[in-house]
Amino acid sequence: MGFHKRYIDDEQVINIYRGQGTDRVIDWFIKGVDALVTNGDLSMEITDILYTDKLTKEEQWNEIDRMVSIESVKKLKNEKEKTVTSS
């Protein structure tokens, strides 16, 4: 039996969210992992939300969904701006 570290960055979170939704993002943080190594504000905030006892599961899900949705839209906007300026 081994020790399972998972490295998570903001780009991974957004890509998982876009392809598989909030439930899969949450699973990525909690299932089959013994330790998390996060890189980026979004992934650190999600970790804080998931490991607090001040929110219900539903409140955690809603807050994570809201945060990742906002960051996903920002990333999409930046990608479009880069495409326009490079053309």
Model pLDDT, residue 87: 62
Residue 84's Cβ-side half-sphere holds a number of Cα atoms within 13 Å equal to 6
What global pTM score does this model have?
0.86
Alpha helices in the chain (DSSP H): 10-20, 22-30, 41-50, 57-86
> What digits encode the pLDDT tens for the residues 29-83?
999 999 999 999 999 999 999 999 999 999 999 999 999 999 999 999 988 887 8
Which of 19 and 84 is assigned the larger pLDDT?
A: 19
Q: Where do the structural domains in the chain lie, given as residue ranges?
A: 5-76
Model pLDDT, residue 74: 94
60 touches 23 (CB < 8 A): no
